[in-house]
Copies of this chain bind each other. A is one copy, B any other.
Amino acid sequence: MEKQFSVVGRRLPMLDAAAKVNGSAQFTDDLMLPGMLHGKILRSRLPHAKILNVDVSKAARLRGVKGVVTGAEIPDRQYGIVPKARDEYALAKGKVRYIGDEIAAVCAIDQEIAEEAVELIEVDYEELPSVFDPLDAIKEGAPIIHEGVANNTSFAIRKEFGDVEGAFAASHLVSEDSFYSQPVNHAPLEPHSAVAQHDPIRGQVVLWSSTQIPFFLRRNLAATLQIPESRVRVIKPKVGGGFGQKIDMFAKDFCAAWFAMKLGKPVKFTYERDEVFIGTRQRHPMYLKVKTGMTKDGKILGQQFLAYADGGAYNSTAPTMMALSCFFLMVPYHVPNLLYEGYHVYTNKPVGGAMRGHGIPQARFAVERQLDMMAERLNLDPAEIRWKNSIKAGEPHPGGFVINTCGFAESVRAAAKAIGWKEKRGKLPFGRGVGLGGASFPSGVTNMSHISSGAVVQVGQDASVNVLTGAADIGQGAETVIAQIVAEVLGVSLDDVRVTAADTGATPLDPGTFGSGVTVRAGNAARIAAESVKKRLFECVADELEANPEDLVAKDGVIFVTGSPEINIPFAKALKAYQYKDLPMPLVGRASWMADTSEPTTLFNQPGNFSPSYSFMTQAAEVEVDTKTGKVKVIKMATAHDCGRPINPMLVEGQLEGSIAGGMGQALYENVITEKGQVMNPSFLDYGFPTTLEVPEMESIDIETDDPVGPFGAKEAGEGTQLSPAPAIVNAIYDAIGVHFNELPVTPERILKALEERK
């Protein structure tokens, strides 16, 4: 009984589905305020140069221009989401470090004038030598991009767990291989946008921004504007995708607020698509060398990694990215001995940042590829080698992770079965093949931000329920999931629940959307707040039902006595009873949730539990390689997925299908091509991510575990499934044509070239 849910676990459409489909949903760029001005940013045309002079006089004189600002005028305060890695100004001061670096901004009565004005700004550069590859950038004598950062290495991480040399000595087979993963852009459909309004009397600025992290943005904006946090209010309208690209503050946020404060008028900055490619963030290109020692029967004894991440011109989330890429080598496989050495290196290229999977997909590609290569040399089944090495729930973990539930081994078997592994692997005609890839991902990282998720649940006299949460729905359906949780607890319909979200001036604190922690963090907060409301209602109707509050159940709009559903009272009637008792106090529940880690780890010292829970998944691919054109057609992707209990299986599937498309892009199509630091394909047309035409048949298998931490047993479901499609596809390509590709993307050119060489 208690385990049967009415709202949780159902395939329900997102709360805002209709508004998005009929186009009436309001995104940041849709916002229009009376007297609003429009801004445009001037970006560097050189990859590395001193700024000798910026002459804005012509721009300032252009009719319709209301303001111009250069880096020289703004406060000397760098920003960044990771405090110790702050190295960026809203507008560059003194020098530019990549083509796209922000130099100045203009604000005018319309967009066209703003764009014309930007063209009139004259910049005197002194060009400096540039470096575009991290392996060059670390060499002695390479141009220094950030003063004081030797070898352009802004962050280095070295971790050893156990004894790797010993492990290799004890191994039957030790294999060392090199891999490369390319730069990939998030390409959210909604370009980055910000609108600011300022109140000079109260000294307060309101910023509407397409952001994943309203509260961190408030902090960064307040710091860079040098005003108190309490004078900044960040509101998140609908967001059309983020994928990590909207985790940072950007020049558009700062400049909108800056001009609003200077000019006393609302100001909007919306990036063009090419600015999103050039001037925001991308997935870090990464060189990886992997050395793995195995027993004769394929048990992993030890692994050693050397990673060079191309950070581009700034740090963004560098330390976090490197730490994730390191720590998550210890799931989903049991790696008793691990040595990881990683370097985040500056180059004069677009900036790397958080992107779905955040440092893990690059490492995952290397590991999953090498597993297949070693399985072959050991003459073992790549599927078997995976479940054989699977970590198990409850077992001690070298990294200090606490694995409460783990459906990985099961997911390998299920995915293999779904793709027809037994019948197909190595048995298909030339040009056809199947492949596997496994992965694991955290449900939010406990130790990144000591910030909790708060929730306030109010029940109105109309029997509608309003949830105030700071969680940032960026299109993934966070608000829907939170509403489902509240509806389930209170036993009302989803349509009775409204979510008011992401307004730092009106909703409780939340760290925001990253690390796939929203459902567990904000979901738990909402659950607890709703339970306190329910408790109060139960107390109010207990007498009338002649029962103890503890014996009451709320379900499908009624409150009834456990075991005797005929003794009940409708939710709306219970509300009236409450209002009589509490004459008529607004019915409000509040709660806050934070992962309960006895000793919260800090990424960079001792091991600890990285996340409140871990999800697991295996992806199986079947591909067909056209040996004449070199084109790869993905025929099917089967995913077996342990995300605990899915609150909304349809939304989980949406996440899954999105990440398969993303993984296909990484494997076969996408690549931010630069020449001397200039992005050559900054448009949807030239960039070419997979479309509905490329997306294959997708089968989703739910490996349900009931996790003790997440609300109703839910775990991460947002990013994990993007980790293994790429290796699964590339492994399938090997099965199809017998060529190992260890560099991404696997383009038709590379395939044709490889087939040539094979002859």
Query: Which residues of B have CB within 8 Å of A583?
Result: 452, 592, 594
B506 touching A199, Cβ below 8 Å: no
0/1 interface trace, chain A 539-555, chain B, CB 8 Å (1 if under): 00000000000000000
- A218-B462, A506-B466 in contact; A594/B588 too (CB < 8 A)? no
B456 touching A199, Cβ below 8 Å: no
Stretch binding the partner chain, chosen from A21-29, A384-392, A606-614? A21-29
Partner of A456, one of B35, B231, B265, B586: B586
Query: Which residues of B have CB within 8 Å of A202?
Result: 15, 18, 494-495
Is residue A142 contacting chain B, with contact meaning CB distance below 8 A? Answer: no
Partner of A33, one of B24, B462, B498: B24
Is residue A19 contacting chain B, with contact meaning CB distance below 8 A? Answer: yes
CB distance from A69 to the nearest CB of B (A): 19
Query: Which residues of B have CB within 8 Å of A456?
Result: 456, 458, 586, 588
Query: Which residues of B have CB within 8 Å of A200?
Result: 18
Query: Which residues of B have CB within 8 Å of A662?
Result: none
B506 touching A468, Cβ below 8 Å: yes
Query: Which residues of B have CB within 8 Å of A94?
Result: none
CB distance from A707 to the nearest CB of B (A): 22
The listed residue with most B CB atoms (<10 A of its CB), out of A22, A30, A228, is A22
B201 touching A13, Cβ below 8 Å: yes
CA distance A99 to B334 in the complex (A): 83
Please provide the chain A residues from 432 to 483 with a CB less than 8 Å away from any CB of chain B in the complex.
452, 454-456, 458, 460-464, 466, 468
- A201-B13, A460-B504, A495-B202 in contact; A586/B590 too (CB < 8 A)? yes
0/1 interface trace, chain A 54-72, chain B, CB 8 Å (1 if under): 0000000000000000000
CB distance from A16 to the nearest CB of B (A): 8
The listed residue with most B CB atoms (<10 A of its CB), out of A24, A25, A218, A468, is A24
Partner of A506, one of B26, B204, B500, B509: B500
B19 touching A197, Cβ below 8 Å: yes
CB distance from A481 to the nearest CB of B (A): 15
Is residue A233 contacting chain B, with contact meaning CB distance below 8 A? Answer: yes
B495 touching A231, Cβ below 8 Å: yes
CB distance from A139 to the nearest CB of B (A): 45
Query: Which residues of B have CB within 8 Å of A36?
Result: 24
- Within the oligomer, what is the number of copies of this chain? 2
Is residue A429 contacting chain B, with contact meaning CB distance below 8 A? Answer: no
B588 touching A592, Cβ below 8 Å: no
Is residue A420 contacting chain B, with contact meaning CB distance below 8 A? Answer: no
A464 touching B32, Cβ below 8 Å: no
Query: Which residues of B have CB within 8 Å of A53?
Result: none
Is residue A591 contacting chain B, with contact meaning CB distance below 8 A? Answer: yes
Partner of A505, one of B231, B233, B495, B500: B500
CA distance A233 to B460 in the complex (A): 11
Closest to A509 in B: B461
Partner of A495, one of B204, B455, B508: B204
CB distance from A88 to the nearest CB of B (A): 23
Partner of A23, one of B32, B35, B509: B35
Query: Which residues of B have CB within 8 Å of A204?
Result: 495, 498
CB distance from A118 to the nearest CB of B (A): 24
Is residue A203 contacting chain B, with contact meaning CB distance below 8 A? Answer: yes
CA distance A128 to B590 in the complex (A): 61
0/1 interface trace, chain A 1-19, chain B, CB 8 Å (1 if under): 0000000000001011111
A585 touching B594, Cβ below 8 Å: no
Please provide the chain A residues from 182 to 228 with a CB less than 8 Å away from any CB of chain B in the complex.
197-204, 218, 222, 228
A201 touching B586, Cβ below 8 Å: no
B34 touching A24, Cβ below 8 Å: yes
B586 touching A509, Cβ below 8 Å: yes
Is residue A496 contacting chain B, with contact meaning CB distance below 8 A? Answer: yes
CB distance from A221 to the nearest CB of B (A): 12
Closest to A200 in B: B18
CA distance A585 to B222 in the complex (A): 24
Query: Which residues of B have CB within 8 Å of A590?
Result: 585-586, 588
Is residue A491 contacting chain B, with contact meaning CB distance below 8 A? Answer: no
A19 touching B468, Cβ below 8 Å: no
Is residue A136 contacting chain B, with contact meaning CB distance below 8 A? Answer: no
Please provide the chain A residues from 228 to 242 with a CB less than 8 Å away from any CB of chain B in the complex.
228-233
Closest to A19 in B: B199
Query: Which residues of B have CB within 8 Å of A129?
Result: none
A30 touching B33, Cβ below 8 Å: yes
CA distance A229 to B496 in the complex (A): 10
B34 touching A26, Cβ below 8 Å: yes
Query: Which residues of B have CB within 8 Å of A584?
Result: 452, 454, 509, 592, 594
Closest to A266 in B: B24
CA distance A591 to B588 in the complex (A): 10
Is residue A658 contacting chain B, with contact meaning CB distance below 8 A? Answer: no
Is residue A654 contacting chain B, with contact meaning CB distance below 8 A? Answer: no
CA distance A634 to B21 in the complex (A): 60
Partner of A34, one of B30, B505, B585, B586: B30
CA distance A494 to B202 in the complex (A): 8
CA distance A200 to B16 in the complex (A): 10
Closest to A204 in B: B495
Query: Which residues of B have CB within 8 Å of A508?
Result: 458, 460, 586, 588
Please provide the chain A residues from 478 to 532 with a CB less than 8 Å away from any CB of chain B in the complex.
494-496, 498, 500, 503-506, 508-509
CA distance A26 to B594 in the complex (A): 37
B463 touching A230, Cβ below 8 Å: yes
CB distance from A52 to the nearest CB of B (A): 37
Query: Which residues of B have CB within 8 Å of A203?
Result: 495
CA distance A584 to B494 in the complex (A): 28
Query: Which residues of B have CB within 8 Å of A24?
Result: 33-36, 197, 265-266
Is residue A264 contacting chain B, with contact meaning CB distance below 8 A? Answer: yes
Closest to A587 in B: B590
Query: Which residues of B have CB within 8 Å of A218?
Result: 462
CA distance A498 to B503 in the complex (A): 12
Query: Which residues of B have CB within 8 Å of A197?
Result: 19, 24
- A17-B201, A34-B24, A508-B458 in contact; A588/B585 too (CB < 8 A)? no
CA distance A495 to B199 in the complex (A): 10
CB-defined A-B contacts under 8 Å, sample of 27:
A18-B202, A19-B197, A22-B265, A23-B265, A24-B197, A24-B266, A25-B34, A26-B33, A203-B495, A204-B495, A218-B462, A229-B462, A229-B464, A230-B460, A230-B496, A231-B495, A456-B586, A456-B588, A460-B505, A461-B509, A462-B504, A500-B503, A500-B505, A500-B506, A583-B594, A584-B594, A588-B590
Q: Which residues of A line the B interface, CB within 8 A?
A: 13, 15-19, 22-26, 30, 32-36, 197-204, 218, 222, 228-233, 264-266, 452, 454-456, 458, 460-464, 466, 468, 494-496, 498, 500, 503-506, 508-509, 583-586, 588, 590-592, 594
- Besides the contacts A17-B201, A466-B506, A500-B505, what 11 more A-B pairs have beta carbons closer than 8 Å? A16-B199, A22-B35, A23-B35, A24-B33, A24-B197, A30-B33, A230-B464, A456-B586, A460-B509, A584-B594, A585-B590
Q: Enumerate the 3 nearest inter-chain pairs by beta-carbon distance, A residue then B residue, closest first.
A: A229-B462, A454-B586, A230-B464
